[in-house]
A = this chain, B = another copy of it.
Amino acid sequence: MQSLQEKASAWSGVDQADAFAIDEFNLFEKLGLQSFINLSTNFYTRVYDDEEEWFRSMFANSKKEDAIQNQYEFFVQRMGGPPLYSQRKGHPALIGRHRPFPVTHEAAERWLQHMQNAIDESVDIDQDSKVKMMNFFRHTAFFLVAGNELKNQNQNQNQNNQVACKHAANKPAEEE
């Protein structure tokens, strides 16, 4: 069976080394806190205004300002800055915390399109950092698609049970 990270690389087209090239130097020290706040604010402004209801609705249970803070605190922590996210919320646990959301291939691509647009508009982030960050985001988005499929294996199991159940329930009636 392919591992999570093998699936992430295959689906994203970004190999492990390129995905984690964000660690080659300290992006937080290079870019500063405000760049991350600006990026996440731009990103979530796009997400919360998305014309596609199926995508926008995944975020409907969170306040926009909370979504922004969760995201930039994670980015800061992961890209060499202080562990703001863990101090407030604990382990990132990316797959566990995305469990409530249907992270499909289509959802990953739409998330990435909004992030690409937000990155393109950023005046705080140099070109080389933009490339490294997008590779990280792309690999990570599909890592979460792989994580989502683990969950769906359980749900399929549920559905199979329900189908089996229907058959079992119908069977005696059919035999009569």
Contact = CB atoms under 8 A, between A and B. Distances in A.
B91 A143 contact: yes
B168 A90 contact: no
Given A154-B155, A168-B165, A172-B173, A143 B94 contact: no
Given A23-B83, A172-B169, A90 B4 contact: yes
Given A4-B90, A96-B95, A155-B154, A169 B161 contact: no
Interface in A79-96: 82-83, 86-96
Copy tally for this chain in the complex stands at 2
B94 A20 contact: no
Given A95-B93, A161-B158, A87 B171 contact: no
Given A99-B150, A158-B154, A143 B93 contact: yes
Contacts of A147: 93, 96
Interface string A61-102: 000000000000000000000110011111111111101000
